[in-house]
Structure formats: C-alpha cells, structure tokens
Homo-oligomer: A and B are copies of this chain.
Amino acid sequence: MDKLFSEVSTTDLVTQIARQITQAIVAGRLKPGERLTELQLSRDFGTSRAPVREAARLLESQGLVTFSPRRGFFVRTLTANDLREIYELRIGLELHAAALALDRIEARKVAALERQIEKLYRLADRGSIEEQIFEDFNFHRMLCAAAGNARLLRVYDELAVEMRVGITLIGKIYDDPHRLAQTHEPIVETLKNRDRDALLAALHYHIEAAQEAVVSLFEGIEAETASAP
C-alpha cells in the first residue's frame, strides 16, 4: 500500500542551524576568517547555545569552519593551495566515479545527463550565474551518483561544498556560458559510447580547466591582499 501522507518535518534544531550557516557561508554573507560567537548565533536563531555548538562542530567536520579550543569557531579561509588540493581530489574521485558509472549506468540516467546539458544551454541564454553554477554542479553530481557508491557520493558532496565556497568568493569563472554547456557534451558522448579512455580524458580535461581557472584567480587575490593590507 502506498503511503497516504508524507512525513512531517521534524528536522531538529541542529540540522536547521547547520543548514542556515552553510547557506550563509556558501552565499558569502559570512566572510572567510570571520568569527562566529555562539551567543550571537544563538540569539539570531532564537535558541540556546547547545544546538549551535553541535551544528558548528558538524560544519567543522565538513571543513566549512575551523575551531580553536577556547577561542571558538571561524569561517574557513581557503587559500589557493586549498583549492588546488580540492580540485586535485575531485579529479581522483570523479574520474573513479565515471569509470564505475561506465559499467553500471542505466540508459535512463544517461538521458537525464543529456537533459541536464540542455538545461545548461537554456540557462546560458537567460539565467543567472548562480543558477548556471548550481546546475553545473548538479551535472557532475549526477555523474558521481551513477557510480552507485553512496560513500563516494558523500565525500563528493562534502568536497562540493568547499568548491562552492571557493567559487562564490570569485563570483565568476566562465566567460562564455554557452561554452560551459558545450564542454559537457564530450563527457556524455564518450559515456554513451562506452569509451572508457576517452571519457576519462574528457573529464580530466574538463575539471583541470576549471581548476586552473579557480586557482589562478585565487592566486591573484592572494597577491593583492598580500601587497595591500
């Protein structure tokens, strides 16, 4: 028998708070290095400090905030080297996921990937940069999900949060949004043809291009802030 009702959301405070803080960081409303005081946060959320602490610890384990004993929580500051590491790890994860997906992916999911590319094209014409970034992430997440390994996907999701932080700080990566959509086509193409080597090569090229864009932009920012404090 089908369920008559969907579950009522009993999301506890910790989850809600963690979600809100994550949003604020990813959206850039909380600046890197900024201090998060428990009292301030708990006042904002209208709760006591206990759930705030637990939420902050959760975010710490995800690398979104850092924690100094007796000092508190701070919004994580990403360096160019951090981003190099993040994308380097992403390459490893996503290529592995793609290789696994090659053997397992169903036709339905391949079609979904193709539709996702079309969505990227549509957003290139009339869509905000935020939407494009979001759907770009979605494409790659769908690919990783197709690997059929829940743990891999979890690690990828954590990494994606950090990537989003980095990208938000920049605000803009791609010059031509149509080109962004276009660069995804060879990935699905090679996946459909079960051409393993070509798939890995296409993905590797795709991610490395993003990496270089992001890292070089960050190095520029670091050079600025180092000379003009």
Contact = CB atoms under 8 A, between A and B. Distances in A.
Given A50-B50, A91-B96, 13 more contacts: A12-B69, A14-B57, A53-B54, A57-B58, A63-B151, A85-B151, A89-B96, A92-B93, A92-B96, A92-B97, A92-B152, A96-B96, A155-B155
A149 interface: yes
B53 A89 contact: no
Contacts of A188: none
A95 to B, nearest CB: 8
Contacts of A93: 92-93, 96
A61 interface: yes
Contacts of A155: 89, 155
Contacts of A97: 92
Interface of A: 10, 12, 14, 50, 53-54, 57-58, 61-63, 69-70, 85-86, 88-89, 91-93, 95-97, 100, 149-152, 155, 159
Q: Number of copies of this chain in the oligomer?
A: 2
Chain A to chain B: the 8 pairs with minimum beta-carbon distance, closest first: A92-B96, A61-B61, A85-B151, A85-B149, A89-B152, A89-B151, A155-B155, A88-B149
A185 B14 CA distance: 48
Contact of A92 (B61, B63, B92): B92
Nearest to A94: B92
Contact of A100 (B50, B62, B88, B152): B88
Contacts of A12: 69
A58 B85 CA distance: 23
Q: Which of A54, A92, A95 has the most CB of B within 10 A?
A: A92
A175 B205 CA distance: 43
A69 B10 contact: yes
Contacts of A86: 151
Contacts of A62: 61
Nearest to A53: B54
